[in-house]
Homo-oligomer: A and B are copies of this chain.
Amino acid sequence: MHFAGQHILSVNQFERADIEAIFDVADRMEPYADRRRITRVLDGAILGNMFFEPSTRTRVSFGCAFNLLGGHVRETTGIKDSAIAKGESLYDTARVISGYSDVITMRHPEAGSVAEFASASRVPVLNGGDGANEHPSQALLDLYTIRKEVEARGGHIDKLRIAMIGDLRYGRTVHSLCKLLCLFDGLTVHLISPAELGMPEQIVEAMRAAGHTVTETDQLENHISHVDIAYSTRIQEERFGSQEEADMYRGRFRLNQNIYTEHCEPNTVIMHPLPRDSRAGANELDSDLNDNPNLAIFRQADNGVVVRMALFALVLDVVDQVDRESRDVNWYTGSRFQ
Query: Is B321 a contact partner of A330 (Cβ separation < 8 A)?
Result: yes
CA gap between A76 and B35 in the complex, in Å: 22
Nearest-neighbour CB distance to chain B for A35, whole angstroms, equals: 6
A277 proximal to B (CB < 8 A): yes
Query: Is B331 a contact partner of A275 (Cβ separation < 8 A)?
Result: no
A11 proximal to B (CB < 8 A): no
Q: Which of B44, B315, B332, B337 contacts A4 (CB 8 A)?
A: B332
Total identical chains: 3
Q: 30 pairs across A/B with beta carbons < 8 Å? A: A5-B335, A38-B45, A39-B44, A40-B43, A44-B70, A44-B329, A45-B331, A46-B64, A54-B81, A54-B82, A56-B81, A57-B96, A60-B74, A64-B100, A67-B72, A73-B74, A86-B275, A87-B277, A88-B277, A89-B287, A91-B278, A93-B275, A99-B301, A99-B305, A122-B337, A316-B332, A317-B331, A317-B332, A318-B332, A321-B330
Q: CB-CB < 8 A to A318: which residues of B?
A: 330-332
Query: Is A332 a contact partner of B87 (Cβ separation < 8 A)?
Result: no
CB nearest neighbor in B for A312: B331
Q: A63-B74, A88-B276, A278-B92 are in contact. Are A82 and B100 (CB under 8 A)?
A: no
A166 proximal to B (CB < 8 A): no
CB nearest neighbor in B for A282: B87
| Chain A, 262-316, CB within 8 A of any chain B CB | 274-279, 282, 287, 290, 297-298, 301-302, 305, 315-316
Query: Is A298 a contact partner of B332 (Cβ separation < 8 A)?
Result: no
Q: CB-CB < 8 A to A282: which residues of B?
A: 87
Q: CB-CB < 8 A to A147: which residues of B?
A: none
Query: Is B44 a contact partner of A274 (Cβ separation < 8 A)?
Result: no
Nearest-neighbour CB distance to chain B for A247, whole angstroms, equals: 12
Secondary structure at chain A's binding surface: helix, strand, loop or mixed?
loop
A133 proximal to B (CB < 8 A): no
Q: CB-CB < 8 A to A203: which residues of B?
A: none
A160 proximal to B (CB < 8 A): no
Nearest-neighbour CB distance to chain B for A97, whole angstroms, equals: 7
Q: A38-B43, A44-B70, A330-B318 are in contact. Are A96 and B336 (CB under 8 A)?
A: no
A95 proximal to B (CB < 8 A): yes
A105 proximal to B (CB < 8 A): no
A187 proximal to B (CB < 8 A): no
A48 proximal to B (CB < 8 A): yes
Q: CB-CB < 8 A to A321: which residues of B?
A: 330
